[in-house]
């Protein structure tokens, strides 16, 4: 494949921290995060949702800890989680101490909001003692009163000043294992704040458009906001905040990273919108394929195009491709590694492509296992 400098993304250089066993920042892969929406005090329900998110590919999962019942359940949740758990703490410093002791990999907390110097010192010491990192989470909807009075409204300058004030508190206590987010529900405000913050500090940045909305509009807003930032090289972890199941957030996060060629998981289906030229029902076929290939985690590309106008060209760029013969044709061509391989009837299309993808995934996994053994 030829070098394509026009699609290279030069990531911002940030220092690296650890969230449990997941490296964040530096040259580590951009991590995909989500958050449970169960009652954390219901450990079993929360564990089920954490596992569902992890199965979908989540690298990190955050849980809210608003009360002592939640932090009491946290140890069981952490014990049964396949991924690092971030404890979301607001205002009450004791919840942070309890969460660190319970095994949280990271504390989402704004140190300036938890009270006196002695309380901050306790939280920092607990994080150091238990190997926790922290995330400073600035939100346009909950900026400090003095900053709102100073700037008159939520704005990038106010959000960045808030973030840096909180960061300074941690740095003054010799704590540097932190990342920062500056989220807003407004895409323009979010993007401007992250650009300014990226210039002001070298810590990892966690991206998100907060309260983005439901599945469709929230995914679109997040794709615009997070996509533009990631394209600019900004961002080390991401969360797509949706009024939907956490698994949908994970899927949307990976789709954004796939679109920018930053990270791949599963089958990237490239398909046409269909028209009168289509030789088979493209929309129905793609919907079925996406469902039947959802279990594949191996990165690969599959093109499914209704006719020969763009089909052969797209197939040349994908691992596996199918191009319909056009309206009235009952067969089409299968491409393997960009080359014409064989012809199949449209009626056999779905089963045949699923078989080819599963076979390719197994071959790739076997090669990876053999390479890992050889490297030992």
| Mean pLDDT value across residues 263-271 | 94
d(CA 138, CA 181): 6
Taken in order of first residue, the domains within the chain and their CATH numbers are: 11-259 (3.20.20.20), 267-375 (3.30.413.10)
Q: At 318, phi and psi to the nearest 5?
A: -120, 165
Residues 260-274 as b or e (16 or more Cβ within 10 Å = b): eebbebbbbbbbbeb
Pairing of strands 206-207, 106-108: unpaired
DSSP string, 32-59: EEEE--S-TT-HHHHHHHHHHHHHTT-S
Provide CB contacts within 8 A for 313, sequence distance 6+: none
d(CA 337, CA 351): 19
Give burial (CB, 10 Å; 0-12/13-18/19+) of 31: buried
What's the pLDDT tens digit per position in 270-321?
A: 999 999 999 999 999 999 999 999 999 999 999 999 999 999 999 999 999 9
Enter the tokens of residue 327: 């309206």
Using pLDDT thresholds of 50, 70 and 90, give the confidence band for residue 1. Answer: very low
Q: Which helix (H) or strand (E) holds 133?
A: strand 133-139
d(CA 82, CA 243): 24
Neighbouring C-beta atoms of residue 322, cutoff 10 Å: 29
Enter the tokens of residue 134: 């922290």
What's the pLDDT tens digit per position in 36-78?
A: 999 999 999 999 999 999 999 999 999 999 999 999 999 999 9
Q: CA 367 from chain center: how many Å?
A: 27
What's the pLDDT tens digit per position in 79-138?
A: 999 999 999 998 789 999 999 999 999 999 988 788 788 999 999 999 999 999 999 999
Q: What is the per-residue pLDDT for 4?
A: 67
d(CA 188, CA 147): 19
d(CA 307, CA 1): 25
Pairing of strands 320-324, 331-336: antiparallel
Q: CA 220 from chain center: how many Å?
A: 14
What's the pLDDT tens digit per position in 159-204?
A: 999 999 999 999 999 999 999 999 999 999 999 999 999 999 999 9
The helix, strand and coil proportions of the chain, stated in percent and rounded to the nearest 5, come to: 45, 20, 35
What pTM was computed for the model? Answer: 0.92
- Angle of helix 215-231 versus helix 246-259 axis, rounded to 10: 40
Closest CA to 131 of 31, 18, 28, 25: 18
Closest CA to 208 of 181, 189, 174, 248: 181
Residue pointed to by tokens 């060629």: 261
């Amino acid at each position: 494949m030829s070098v394509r400098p026009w699609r290279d993304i030069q990531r911002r250089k940030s220092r690296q921290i650890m969230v449990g066993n997941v490296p964040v920042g530096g040259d580590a892969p951009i991590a995909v995060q989500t958050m449970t929406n169960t009652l954390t005090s219901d450990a079993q329900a929360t564990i089920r949702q954490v596992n569902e998110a992890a199965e979908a590919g989540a690298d990190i999962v955050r849980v809210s800890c608003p009360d002592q019942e939640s932090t009491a359940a946290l140890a069981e949740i952490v014990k049964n989680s396949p991924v690092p758990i971030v404890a979301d703490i607001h205002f009450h410093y004791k919840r942070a101490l309890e969460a660190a002791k319970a095994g949280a990999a990271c504390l989402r907390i704004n140190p300036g909001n938890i009270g006196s110097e002695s309380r901050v010192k306790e939280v920092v010491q607990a994080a150091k003692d238990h190997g926790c990192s922290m995330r400073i989470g600035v939100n346009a909807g909950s900026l400090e009163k003095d900053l709102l009075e100073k700037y008159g409204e939520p704005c990038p300058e106010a959000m960045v000043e808030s973030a840096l004030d909180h960061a300074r508190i941690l740095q003054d206590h010799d704590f540097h294992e932190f990342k920062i987010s500056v989220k807003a529900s407004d895409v323009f405000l979010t993007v401007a704040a992250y650009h300014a913050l990226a210039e002001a500090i070298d810590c990892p940045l966690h991206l998100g458009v907060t309260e983005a909305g439901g599945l469709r509009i929230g995914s679109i807003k997040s794709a615009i906001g997070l996509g533009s930032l990631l394209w600019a090289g900004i961002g080390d972890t991401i969360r797509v905040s949706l009024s939907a199941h956490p698994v949908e957030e994970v899927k949307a996060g990976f789709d954004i990273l796939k679109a920018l060629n930053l990270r791949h998981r599963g089958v990237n289906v490239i398909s046409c919108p269909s028209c009168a030229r289509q030789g088979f029902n493209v929309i129905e076929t793609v919907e079925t394929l996406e469902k039947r290939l959802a279990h594949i985690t191996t990165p690969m590309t599959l093109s499914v195009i209704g006719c020969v106008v763009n089909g052969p060209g797209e197939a040349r760029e994908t691992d596996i491709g199918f191009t319909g013969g056009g309206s009235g044709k009952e067969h089409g061509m299968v491409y393997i590694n960009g080359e014409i391989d064989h012809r199949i009837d449209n009626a056999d299309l779905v089963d045949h492509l699923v078989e080819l993808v599963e076979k390719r995934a197994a071959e790739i996994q076997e090669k990876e296992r053999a390479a890992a053994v050889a490297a030992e």
